[in-house]
A and B are shown apart, each in its own frame.
Chain A
């Protein structure tokens, strides 16, 4: 007996013969936050629509807590809270009316509707907006109403499509905290194209490009790839790169156009101290030394780019 909350098995969706999503398989366990990354048009939203039963997959299946979405859609959908990319808000209603309606449609028993609405409002910081028309709320507050509607029935899985789009930095921070909090008890899937966000809130990352999964694993793997084994060193009187290679552990030194030198060292070695000492002894004029972090963007670019390269080779062969 596994305790996966979400199981996607070889999901494929064809749009007029073109594969928008092809063979995407993954699982998610309880209490995990999964980040979905990908460039525009990669198939993030399509995958999410299939997971929530808004779109039928051409092949493959989705299971929510072991319940098949195609065979028992009602039972499976009862376990999901979904916020699509376009917020499905009825703008002529007030926040309270809308959330009550959402609770009722998600089969919250009539006794608990009131408390469910109160809890959802409190969690999303909407307490003082109860009687306002949704139409008159700011973008950020509308987004919160959207999230409140997705968590009101305490679903096992919360699926949020680009939850932080168009928000100001403070609101983004609040919503990230909320996602983390929700992730404590439910499973959460979020999609985004903001990479640091994934790093902040997610346990698991999936990178999807042109409908294919390019990377699927824990965030730590991605972080490790990111920190890497490079140092950026700034020297006023830089010696020839050969001098640097003499320092124990240094494998490669490369002068960058910016005047800095990128030093690559062996795995496990920590040559920073040795470099500083040598620099001082030799009078190289050390003014900067820092780990050279490949940004998540670079990792992302590499992964999606590699995939393209492979595809090109294949088509060439």
Chain B
């Protein structure tokens, strides 16, 4: 039954232009980044660097594309997740799901999986796009798979947060803004507390004090 709810969500994303527009716009952005990455690779790696410092084409292009993807998802996921529950509450379609033989868990998990499946399409597309490098060179598929998995887990956590905020309000826009602010705040926290050797000591103190708490 969870699958049926997820199918319903996927269907309604693609029934309106919303799904198609977001897919195409994001793929345009990633495609441009990919093209720039390949161009830059030839510019940067053209011999000015010592061979020991050179990185592979997969890592060079992949890093820029996946880096952009994780940044863009910060905006895209709230836009997609905002309508999941609040839109149904506003247009009063929730009784349709409530009076079907479904538990609340099935409804929420189904909606979550539907959204993750939609974003999964995007991740598969990015993977496929980067795999085309294999035509001209020998690329590291392990890098691609690990990055895709990482991106998938990241958008899943974003979606989960998005669904939570979507269930709090009847206004999709408010849900989107709340989700975005929360995601952004989490990102900032990550920047503050992430400790690397050689960073300022106050960050280390903040980090350890947090872990003590």
Q: Are B12 and A84 in contact (CB under 8 A)?
A: no
Knowing A73-B103, A92-B12, the reply to whether A84 touches B92 (Cβ < 8 A) is: yes
Pick the contact of B98: A54, A92, A106 (CB < 8 A).
A54
B161 within 8 A of A: no
Of residues 71 through 95 on chain A, the ones whose CB sits less than 8 Å from some CB of chain B are 73-75, 77-78, 80-82, 84, 86, 88-93
Given contacts A84-B92, A88-B96, contact A78 B101 (CB under 8 A): yes
B16 contacts which chain A residues (CB < 8 A)?
92
For chain A, give the interface size range.
Answer: 20 to 34
- Cβ of A54 and Cβ of B92 under 8 Å apart? no
Give min CB distance, A83 to chain B, whole Å: 9
Question: A49 CA to B95 CA in the complex, in Å?
Answer: 9
Any chain B CB within 8 A of the CB of A101?
Answer: yes
Interface segment out of the listed B3-11, B121-129, B200-208: B3-11
The answer to whether residues A53 and B98 also contact, given A92-B16, A97-B11, A104-B4 and a CB cut-off of 8 A, is yes
Cβ–Cβ < 8 Å partners of B4 in chain A: 101, 104-105
A21 to B99, CA, bound (A): 20
B94 is an interface residue with CB less than 8 A from chain A = yes
CB pair A53–B92 under 8 Å, yes or no, is no
Q: Is the CB of A77 within 8 A of B11?
A: no
Cβ of B7: which chain A residues have Cβ within 8 Å of it? Answer: 101, 104
CB distance from B14 to the nearest CB of A (A): 9
**B11 contacts A105, CB within 8 Å?**
no
Confirm or deny: A149 has a beta carbon within 8 angstroms of a beta carbon on chain B. Answer: yes
**Residues 86 to 105 of chain B near chain A (Cβ within 8 Å):** 91-103
- How many whole Å from A283's CB to the nearest CB in chain B? 66
For residue B15, CB closer than 8 A to chain A, the reply is: yes
- Asked if A106 and B15 sit within 8 Å, CB to CB, the answer is no
Which residue in A54, A77, A90 is a CB contact (below 8 Å) of B93?
Answer: A90
Q: B1 in the interface, Cβ–Cβ < 8 Å?
A: yes
Residue on A nearest B107 in the bound complex, by CB: A105
Given the known interface contacts A88-B93, A89-B93, the answer about A77 and B99 at a Cβ–Cβ threshold of 8 Å is: yes
Q: How far is the CB of A284 from the nearest CB of chain B, in Å?
A: 61
Interface centre among A75, A77, A78, A81, by most chain B C-beta atoms within 10 angstroms, is A77
Tell me the complex Cα distance, A91–B93, Å. Answer: 10
Across the interface, B101 reaches (CB within 8 A) one of A75, A101, A149, namely A75
Q: In the complex, what residues of B have CB within 8 A of residue A97's CB? A: 11, 15
Q: Can you show 5 pairs from A to B with CB atoms below 8 A apart?
A: A74-B102, A86-B95, A88-B92, A101-B8, A105-B8
Contacts beyond the supplied A90-B15, A93-B15: 12 A-B pairs with Cβ under 8 Å? A53-B98, A74-B101, A84-B92, A84-B99, A88-B96, A90-B12, A90-B96, A93-B11, A105-B96, A106-B100, A106-B101, A107-B1
